[in-house]
């Protein structure tokens, strides 16, 4: 993945920058075969890591999505509480 890293879709960097100016942003991801430390390097090389206040990868926390512990770790790092509809119980494998 480092030899042939992914590229960003058009508008992603602009969108992240716009959101980052208004909201704390966290990235929660299953790491699969690539550890979080490598994924951070890729995000850094793409110029988008700076827009995330926290990154939570499954290999580092020991759980995979949709386990609520992954999302609760991000909430803790962001210093925010789950909303009334979140409850930390029923996250699906999709962006929130």
DSSP reduced 3-state for 67: coil
Q: How far is CA 60 from CA 32, 67, 87, 90, in A?
A: 11, 14, 23, 21
**pLDDT given for residue 93 in this prediction:** 52
Question: Average pLDDT of the chain?
Answer: 89
**pLDDT given for residue 84 in this prediction:** 73
Q: What pTM did the predictor assign?
A: 0.82
Any domain includes 52: yes
Any domain includes 35: yes
Any domain includes 83: no
Please state, in angstroms and rounded to a whole number, the distance separating the CA atoms of residues 64 and 43.
Answer: 20
Any domain includes 85: no
What is the domain-level CATH number for residue 65? 3.40.50.1000
Q: Extract the tokens encoding 6.
A: 């992914």
Any domain includes 18: yes
Any domain includes 2: no
The torsion angles phi and psi of 36, rounded to 5 degrees, stand at -55, -35
Render pLDDT for 27-74 as a digit per residue (tens, 0 to 9): 999 998 999 999 999 999 999 999 999 999 999 999 999 999 999 999
- Based on the structure, what is the number of domains in the chain? 1
Instruction: Compute the half-sphere exposure of residue 51: CA atoms within 13 Å on the CB side of its CA.
Output: 18
Any domain includes 4: no
Any domain includes 88: no
pLDDT of 96 higher than 90 = no
DSSP summary character for residue 27 = E
User: Domain span at residue 32?
Assistant: 12-78
Residue 5 — pLDDT band, cuts 50, 70, 90?
Answer: confident
Count Cβ atoms below 10 Å from residue 96 Cβ, excluding itself: 9
């Amino acid at each position: 993945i480092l030899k042939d890293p992914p590229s960003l879709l058009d508008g992603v960097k602009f969108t992240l920058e716009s959101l980052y100016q208004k909201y704390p942003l966290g990235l929660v991801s299953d790491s699969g075969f690539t550890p979080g430390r490598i994924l951070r390097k890729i995000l850094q090389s793409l110029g988008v890591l700076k827009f995330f206040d926290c990154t939570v990868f499954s290999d580092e926390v020991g759980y995979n999505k949709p386990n609520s512990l992954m999302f609760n770790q991000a909430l803790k790092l962001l210093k925010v509480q789950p909303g009334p509809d979140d409850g930390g119980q029923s996250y699906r494998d999709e962006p929130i």
